[in-house]
Structure 1
Amino acid sequence: MQAAVFFDRDGVLNEDDGYAFEPSKIRWIKGAMEAVRAVNQSGYLAFVVTNQSGVARGFYAEQQARGLHAWMTDQLASVGARIDEFAYCPHHPEGTIAEYRHACICRKPQPGMINELVKRHSIDIGRSILVGDKQSDIEAAAGAGITGHIFRGADLEAFIVPLLLQLKQLR
């Protein structure tokens, strides 16, 4: 079983400007790409788990969310980093698009996205962490049995490197 680092997207990897879906408007958090590369180089899988209620609200389509993730994948590859899988929840109980208007087990604070990735990739939850910027991220991690860490700093690489060292001690 492999260990993994789960990242929230908006507010952790990129600035949270509200309903981000256009690559031209994405601003990476300082050290974000390097943090993902550090995770990769440490031998951990890297995942993104992100609520994307903008789909349910009609602000953008799932295709645009996937397009942004493809762009992020290319950007990360340019520095030798990779996300092993992006998971997102397009649902919201107050959405304006009927097919996405419902409560679900994948929308954080529910642990559904994390649980699916854990199952699909045979993740060792005892040696894995989640990095988020909201309490709902931490609740989702706890619901999946993973330790969550709140990122409120200015440099994600400086935040993640000590966590990776702690994880190595659990091996």
Structure 2
Amino acid sequence: MQEKPVPNKSLFLDRDGVINKEKHYLYRIEDFEFVDGIFALCRAAVKNGFCLIVVTNQAGIARGYYTEAQFLELTEWMKQEFARRDLPLTDVLYCPHHPQYGGEQYCRQCECRKPGPGMLLDAARKYDLDLSASIFAGDKGSDIAAGRAAGIGTAALVGTGHSVSAPDRQAADLYADSLAELKENLFPATIADN
């Protein structure tokens, strides 16, 4: 069976605070709660020709709060939850690094850790994406900065995770208090259920 080609634009999603409710260094399936509206937003994006890619800093690995294997186990479960709703995630890219923690394996300055654009640029190369036609939905200023550095067309900030400062709101192309509001702003003609 031949796989469908990946669209050349993506809705990039931060994980913690956008896909799932913000919890301190989340790594257990039983603690994972989806943010209201995430599936409706993703369904609207897919209907409008976007693929779905998660880009997430996971410094909890470098800090020793959980292992890379535990993160990958949770990621596999999350991917299955999206697939069950006929919303396959094209990829989940993550940065396990931290500039001060993690020993030889994880302690480093890197371009993949947001606000660096590395994960977005890697996804663009891997999937032949037009970043200027893509959207990045995040809940922190570092998400907006990463989007800007990568040349993302729309850097959207949502108030579903961390508290949002006035300068971060101003730096974003679009601000929404909820994912439902973000969906309405990005895809106003799309009717999608949750």
TM-score > 0.5 by shorter chain: yes
Match of 2:182 in 1: 159
Structure 1 length as normaliser, TM-score?
0.90
1:113 maps to amino acid: M
Report deviation, 1:165.
Answer: 5.0
Structure 2: how far apart are the matches of 1:111 and 1:15?
A: 24
Structure 2: how far apart are the matches of 1:144 and 1:74?
A: 28
Match of 2:165 in 1: none
In structure 2, runs of 5+ residues without a counterpart are 1-6, 161-176, 190-194
Is the partner of 2:187 in helix, strand or coil?
A: helix
Counterparts of 1:17-36 in structure 2, within 5 Å, are 17-36=23-42
1:164 maps to amino acid: F
Pairing 1:2–2:25 present: no
Match of 1:51 in 2: 57
> Which has the larger displacement, 12-21 or 96-105?
96-105
Match of 2:173 in 1: none
Match of 1:169 in 2: none
1:93 maps to amino acid: P
4+ residue segments displaced more than 6 Å: none
Counterparts of 1:81-160 in structure 2, within 5 Å, are 81-146=87-152, 147-153=154-160, 155-160=178-183
In structure 1, runs of 5+ residues without a counterpart are 167-171
Identity among equivalent pairs (%)? 36
Is the partner of 2:61 in helix, strand or coil?
A: coil
* Count, aligned residues: 166
> Which has the larger displacement, 28-37 or 145-154?
145-154
Root-mean-square deviation (Å): 1.7
